[in-house]
Copies of this chain bind each other. A is one copy, B any other.
Amino acid sequence: MTHFADRLGSAIVGKRTPVLVGLDPRAKSLPAGLLAAEDANNPVAVANAYRTFCRGVIDAVAPLAAVVKPQAAFFEELGPAGMAALADVIVDAREQGLLVILDGKRNDIGSTAEAYASAYLGRDSAWGADALTVSPYLGDDSLAPFIERCRTHDAGIFVLVKTSNPGGGTFQDRAIDGRPLYEHVAELVEQQAAATSAECGYGAVGAVVGATYPEQLTSLRMQMPHAWLLVPGYGAQGAGARDVAGAFDDSGLGAIVNSSRGIIFAHARAPYSESYGAARWQDAVAAAARDMIEQLKSETPAGRLFP
Protein backbone atom coordinates (compact mmCIF):
# COMPACT_ATOMS: atom_id res chain seq x y z
CA MET A 1 0.00 0.00 0.00
CA THR A 2 1.06 3.60 -0.57
CA HIS A 3 1.18 6.37 2.07
CA PHE A 4 -2.26 7.88 2.62
CA ALA A 5 -1.16 11.40 1.69
CA ASP A 6 0.21 10.22 -1.66
CA ARG A 7 -2.88 8.10 -2.33
CA LEU A 8 -5.05 11.14 -1.64
CA GLY A 9 -2.95 13.33 -3.91
CA SER A 10 -2.98 10.76 -6.72
CA ALA A 11 -6.71 10.22 -6.39
CA ILE A 12 -7.40 13.96 -6.68
CA VAL A 13 -5.12 14.31 -9.71
CA GLY A 14 -6.65 11.18 -11.26
CA LYS A 15 -10.22 12.42 -10.92
CA ARG A 16 -9.19 16.02 -11.62
CA THR A 17 -11.09 17.41 -8.62
CA PRO A 18 -10.75 17.89 -4.84
CA VAL A 19 -14.50 17.36 -4.30
CA LEU A 20 -15.28 15.19 -1.28
CA VAL A 21 -18.80 13.78 -1.29
CA GLY A 22 -20.36 13.46 2.15
CA LEU A 23 -22.60 10.44 2.67
CA ASP A 24 -25.09 11.82 5.21
CA PRO A 25 -28.28 9.79 4.66
CA ARG A 26 -31.44 10.91 6.41
CA ALA A 27 -34.78 9.13 6.29
CA LYS A 28 -36.80 12.31 5.72
CA SER A 29 -34.71 13.42 2.75
CA LEU A 30 -34.46 10.19 0.76
CA PRO A 31 -35.84 10.23 -2.79
CA ALA A 32 -39.38 8.87 -3.03
CA GLY A 33 -39.51 5.12 -3.47
CA LEU A 34 -36.49 4.21 -1.33
CA LEU A 35 -38.35 4.00 1.96
CA ALA A 36 -42.04 3.26 2.41
CA ALA A 37 -43.83 5.69 4.74
CA GLU A 38 -44.87 2.87 7.07
CA ASP A 39 -41.21 1.86 7.46
CA ALA A 40 -39.98 5.29 8.56
CA ASN A 41 -39.58 4.15 12.18
CA ASN A 42 -38.27 0.67 11.44
CA PRO A 43 -34.48 0.84 11.86
CA VAL A 44 -33.82 -2.26 9.74
CA ALA A 45 -35.87 -0.88 6.87
CA VAL A 46 -34.26 2.56 7.17
CA ALA A 47 -30.80 0.97 7.27
CA ASN A 48 -31.60 -0.98 4.10
CA ALA A 49 -32.76 2.25 2.46
CA TYR A 50 -29.54 4.01 3.54
CA ARG A 51 -27.52 1.15 2.05
CA THR A 52 -29.38 1.37 -1.25
CA PHE A 53 -29.24 5.16 -1.30
CA CYS A 54 -25.53 5.43 -0.49
CA ARG A 55 -24.68 2.79 -3.07
CA GLY A 56 -26.68 4.80 -5.59
CA VAL A 57 -24.78 7.96 -4.66
CA ILE A 58 -21.49 6.10 -4.96
CA ASP A 59 -22.45 4.78 -8.39
CA ALA A 60 -23.28 8.32 -9.49
CA VAL A 61 -20.15 10.03 -8.14
CA ALA A 62 -17.49 7.32 -8.56
CA PRO A 63 -16.67 8.44 -12.12
CA LEU A 64 -16.43 12.07 -10.97
CA ALA A 65 -14.91 12.30 -7.49
CA ALA A 66 -12.06 10.64 -5.62
CA VAL A 67 -13.18 10.55 -2.00
CA VAL A 68 -16.35 9.98 0.00
CA LYS A 69 -16.99 10.75 3.66
CA PRO A 70 -19.67 8.66 5.38
CA GLN A 71 -21.04 10.40 8.47
CA ALA A 72 -21.08 7.77 11.24
CA ALA A 73 -23.77 9.51 13.30
CA PHE A 74 -26.55 8.87 10.80
CA PHE A 75 -25.78 5.17 10.74
CA GLU A 76 -25.31 4.96 14.51
CA GLU A 77 -28.74 6.55 14.90
CA LEU A 78 -30.25 3.29 13.59
CA GLY A 79 -28.50 1.00 16.05
CA PRO A 80 -26.75 -2.22 14.99
CA ALA A 81 -28.65 -2.38 11.68
CA GLY A 82 -27.25 1.01 10.77
CA MET A 83 -23.72 -0.07 11.60
CA ALA A 84 -24.06 -3.10 9.32
CA ALA A 85 -25.18 -0.76 6.54
CA LEU A 86 -22.22 1.54 7.20
CA ALA A 87 -19.80 -1.37 6.84
CA ASP A 88 -21.39 -2.33 3.52
CA VAL A 89 -21.27 1.25 2.24
CA ILE A 90 -17.55 1.51 3.03
CA VAL A 91 -16.85 -1.76 1.20
CA ASP A 92 -18.87 -0.58 -1.77
CA ALA A 93 -17.03 2.74 -1.97
CA ARG A 94 -13.66 1.02 -1.88
CA GLU A 95 -14.71 -1.47 -4.54
CA GLN A 96 -15.62 1.49 -6.74
CA GLY A 97 -12.08 2.82 -6.33
CA LEU A 98 -12.91 5.62 -3.92
CA LEU A 99 -10.98 6.64 -0.83
CA VAL A 100 -13.08 6.58 2.32
CA ILE A 101 -12.78 9.11 5.16
CA LEU A 102 -15.06 8.09 7.99
CA ASP A 103 -16.44 11.12 9.80
CA GLY A 104 -16.68 9.88 13.40
CA LYS A 105 -14.88 12.61 15.37
CA ARG A 106 -13.59 9.90 17.69
CA ASN A 107 -10.97 10.06 20.39
CA ASP A 108 -10.07 8.70 23.80
CA ILE A 109 -6.94 7.97 25.83
CA GLY A 110 -4.39 5.17 25.97
CA SER A 111 -5.54 1.74 24.98
CA THR A 112 -9.02 3.06 24.19
CA ALA A 113 -7.59 5.38 21.55
CA GLU A 114 -5.68 2.36 20.23
CA ALA A 115 -8.98 0.51 19.92
CA TYR A 116 -10.55 3.33 17.89
CA ALA A 117 -7.47 3.46 15.65
CA SER A 118 -7.55 -0.29 15.16
CA ALA A 119 -11.31 -0.19 14.52
CA TYR A 120 -11.26 2.32 11.69
CA LEU A 121 -7.84 2.99 10.20
CA GLY A 122 -6.59 0.95 7.30
CA ARG A 123 -8.19 -1.26 4.73
CA ASP A 124 -7.64 -4.37 6.88
CA SER A 125 -9.29 -2.79 9.93
CA ALA A 126 -12.76 -3.82 11.06
CA TRP A 127 -14.40 -0.94 9.19
CA GLY A 128 -11.76 -0.53 6.52
CA ALA A 129 -11.64 3.23 6.19
CA ASP A 130 -8.63 5.06 4.75
CA ALA A 131 -8.94 7.89 7.25
CA LEU A 132 -10.92 9.07 10.25
CA THR A 133 -11.81 12.46 11.74
CA VAL A 134 -10.51 12.88 15.30
CA SER A 135 -11.14 15.37 18.12
CA PRO A 136 -8.13 17.06 19.81
CA TYR A 137 -9.48 18.00 23.27
CA LEU A 138 -7.82 15.03 25.01
CA GLY A 139 -4.33 16.23 24.05
CA ASP A 140 -1.22 15.11 22.24
CA ASP A 141 -0.92 11.63 23.74
CA SER A 142 -4.48 10.82 22.71
CA LEU A 143 -3.49 11.33 19.07
CA ALA A 144 -0.36 9.18 19.28
CA PRO A 145 -2.06 5.76 18.82
CA PHE A 146 -3.89 7.06 15.76
CA ILE A 147 -0.68 8.42 14.23
CA GLU A 148 1.16 5.18 14.94
CA ARG A 149 -1.62 3.26 13.22
CA CYS A 150 -1.41 5.67 10.27
CA ARG A 151 2.29 4.85 9.94
CA THR A 152 1.81 1.09 10.02
CA HIS A 153 -1.37 0.93 7.92
CA ASP A 154 -0.94 3.78 5.40
CA ALA A 155 -3.97 5.53 6.82
CA GLY A 156 -4.73 9.15 7.72
CA ILE A 157 -6.48 11.24 10.34
CA PHE A 158 -8.04 14.67 10.15
CA VAL A 159 -7.95 16.52 13.46
CA LEU A 160 -10.67 19.07 14.25
CA VAL A 161 -8.97 22.47 14.21
CA LYS A 162 -11.53 25.17 13.29
CA THR A 163 -15.08 23.94 12.80
CA SER A 164 -17.75 25.47 10.59
CA ASN A 165 -20.57 25.89 13.14
CA PRO A 166 -21.53 29.29 14.63
CA GLY A 167 -20.55 28.13 18.14
CA GLY A 168 -17.22 26.73 17.00
CA GLY A 169 -15.56 29.75 18.54
CA THR A 170 -16.82 29.09 22.10
CA PHE A 171 -13.47 27.54 22.92
CA GLN A 172 -11.60 27.37 19.60
CA ASP A 173 -11.33 31.16 19.24
CA ARG A 174 -10.28 31.88 22.83
CA ALA A 175 -6.79 33.39 23.09
CA ILE A 176 -3.93 31.44 24.65
CA ASP A 177 -0.63 33.36 24.74
CA GLY A 178 -2.09 35.80 22.24
CA ARG A 179 -3.22 33.23 19.70
CA PRO A 180 -6.56 31.41 19.43
CA LEU A 181 -6.78 27.84 20.71
CA TYR A 182 -7.31 26.57 17.17
CA GLU A 183 -3.85 27.84 16.18
CA HIS A 184 -2.32 25.85 19.02
CA VAL A 185 -4.13 22.77 17.78
CA ALA A 186 -2.92 23.62 14.27
CA GLU A 187 0.65 23.78 15.57
CA LEU A 188 0.39 20.23 16.89
CA VAL A 189 -1.18 19.07 13.64
CA GLU A 190 1.58 20.67 11.58
CA GLN A 191 4.29 19.01 13.72
CA GLN A 192 2.69 15.62 13.24
CA ALA A 193 1.99 16.22 9.56
CA ALA A 194 5.63 17.15 8.93
CA ALA A 195 6.79 14.11 10.90
CA THR A 196 4.68 11.80 8.71
CA SER A 197 5.08 13.54 5.35
CA ALA A 198 5.11 11.59 2.12
CA GLU A 199 6.46 12.20 -1.37
CA CYS A 200 3.75 14.75 -2.16
CA GLY A 201 4.92 16.87 0.78
CA TYR A 202 1.83 16.27 2.87
CA GLY A 203 1.55 14.06 5.93
CA ALA A 204 -0.77 11.41 7.33
CA VAL A 205 -2.16 13.94 9.81
CA GLY A 206 -4.52 16.52 8.34
CA ALA A 207 -6.90 19.13 9.72
CA VAL A 208 -10.61 19.87 9.58
CA VAL A 209 -11.06 23.58 8.87
CA GLY A 210 -14.49 25.00 8.08
CA ALA A 211 -15.22 26.88 4.87
CA THR A 212 -17.39 29.33 6.75
CA TYR A 213 -14.34 31.24 8.04
CA PRO A 214 -12.38 32.04 4.84
CA GLU A 215 -9.76 34.28 6.49
CA GLN A 216 -8.85 31.67 9.06
CA LEU A 217 -8.80 29.05 6.31
CA THR A 218 -6.16 31.03 4.45
CA SER A 219 -3.98 31.60 7.50
CA LEU A 220 -4.32 27.98 8.63
CA ARG A 221 -3.24 26.83 5.16
CA MET A 222 -0.03 28.82 5.69
CA GLN A 223 0.42 27.63 9.27
CA MET A 224 0.12 23.94 8.31
CA PRO A 225 2.11 23.51 5.07
CA HIS A 226 2.30 19.73 5.54
CA ALA A 227 -1.33 19.11 6.43
CA TRP A 228 -4.12 18.12 4.09
CA LEU A 229 -7.16 20.24 4.90
CA LEU A 230 -10.62 18.70 4.99
CA VAL A 231 -12.97 21.61 4.43
CA PRO A 232 -16.65 21.26 5.40
CA GLY A 233 -19.28 23.97 5.17
CA TYR A 234 -19.54 24.28 1.37
CA GLY A 235 -23.01 24.52 -0.10
CA ALA A 236 -25.76 23.85 2.41
CA GLN A 237 -23.80 25.55 5.21
CA GLY A 238 -23.42 28.70 3.14
CA ALA A 239 -19.85 28.83 1.85
CA GLY A 240 -19.04 29.06 -1.86
CA ALA A 241 -16.05 28.24 -4.05
CA ARG A 242 -14.35 31.59 -3.44
CA ASP A 243 -14.57 31.02 0.31
CA VAL A 244 -12.49 27.84 0.04
CA ALA A 245 -9.87 29.19 -2.39
CA GLY A 246 -7.46 29.83 0.48
CA ALA A 247 -7.44 26.16 1.47
CA PHE A 248 -5.29 25.18 -1.52
CA ASP A 249 -1.57 25.47 -2.02
CA ASP A 250 -0.11 27.30 -5.00
CA SER A 251 -0.12 24.16 -7.14
CA GLY A 252 -3.81 23.55 -6.44
CA LEU A 253 -3.36 20.65 -4.06
CA GLY A 254 -3.61 20.47 -0.25
CA ALA A 255 -7.36 20.49 0.32
CA ILE A 256 -10.48 18.43 -0.14
CA VAL A 257 -13.79 20.26 -0.06
CA ASN A 258 -16.83 18.48 1.29
CA SER A 259 -20.43 18.81 0.20
CA SER A 260 -23.02 16.45 1.63
CA ARG A 261 -26.66 17.53 1.38
CA GLY A 262 -25.92 19.82 -1.56
CA ILE A 263 -24.95 16.82 -3.68
CA ILE A 264 -26.71 13.77 -2.29
CA PHE A 265 -30.13 15.42 -1.96
CA ALA A 266 -29.83 17.54 -5.12
CA HIS A 267 -33.05 15.99 -6.50
CA ALA A 268 -35.01 18.09 -3.98
CA ARG A 269 -33.49 21.50 -4.68
CA ALA A 270 -33.28 23.97 -7.52
CA PRO A 271 -32.17 23.80 -10.24
CA TYR A 272 -31.90 20.00 -10.14
CA SER A 273 -35.41 19.34 -8.86
CA GLU A 274 -36.92 20.72 -12.05
CA SER A 275 -34.53 18.96 -14.42
CA TYR A 276 -34.51 15.57 -12.72
CA GLY A 277 -36.88 15.17 -9.76
CA ALA A 278 -37.01 12.18 -7.46
CA ALA A 279 -37.18 9.51 -10.17
CA ARG A 280 -33.84 10.59 -11.68
CA TRP A 281 -32.22 11.39 -8.35
CA GLN A 282 -28.91 9.79 -9.31
CA ASP A 283 -28.68 12.07 -12.34
CA ALA A 284 -29.32 14.99 -10.00
CA VAL A 285 -26.47 13.81 -7.75
CA ALA A 286 -24.10 13.61 -10.71
CA ALA A 287 -25.18 16.99 -12.03
CA ALA A 288 -24.68 18.66 -8.64
CA ALA A 289 -21.26 17.04 -8.30
CA ARG A 290 -20.27 18.22 -11.78
CA ASP A 291 -21.37 21.76 -10.97
CA MET A 292 -19.33 21.79 -7.78
CA ILE A 293 -16.33 20.42 -9.67
CA GLU A 294 -16.67 23.25 -12.19
CA GLN A 295 -17.03 25.89 -9.47
CA LEU A 296 -13.88 24.74 -7.68
CA LYS A 297 -12.03 24.52 -10.98
CA SER A 298 -12.92 28.04 -12.08
CA GLU A 299 -12.76 29.87 -8.74
CA THR A 300 -9.96 28.21 -6.75
CA PRO A 301 -6.31 27.20 -7.30
CA ALA A 302 -7.57 23.63 -7.80
CA GLY A 303 -8.13 24.67 -11.42
CA ARG A 304 -4.37 24.97 -11.92
CA LEU A 305 -4.03 21.21 -11.63
CA PHE A 306 -6.48 20.62 -14.46
CA PRO A 307 -6.12 23.39 -17.03
Contact = CB atoms under 8 A, between A and B. Distances in A.
A177 B178 CA distance: 10
Interface residues of A, number: 60
Contacts of A223: none
A137 B139 contact: no
A140 B107 contact: no
A290 interface: no
B84 A80 contact: yes
A227 interface: no
A137 B166 CA distance: 13
A87 interface: yes
A2 interface: no
Given A141-B165, A165-B141, A171 B110 contact: no
A126 interface: yes
Interface centre among A43, A80, A116 (most CB of B within 10 A): A80
Residue among A24, A142, A177 facing the most chain B CB atoms (10 A cut-off)? A142
Nearest to A79: B126
Nearest to A110: B165
Interface string A66-100: 00000101101111101110110000000000000
CB-CB nearest 4 A-B residue pairs: A141-B167, A139-B170, A79-B126, A139-B167
Given A83-B84, A105-B135, 17 more contacts: A43-B126, A71-B115, A73-B113, A73-B119, A77-B116, A79-B83, A79-B119, A103-B108, A107-B135, A109-B167, A137-B163, A138-B163, A138-B168, A140-B170, A141-B166, A171-B184, A175-B177
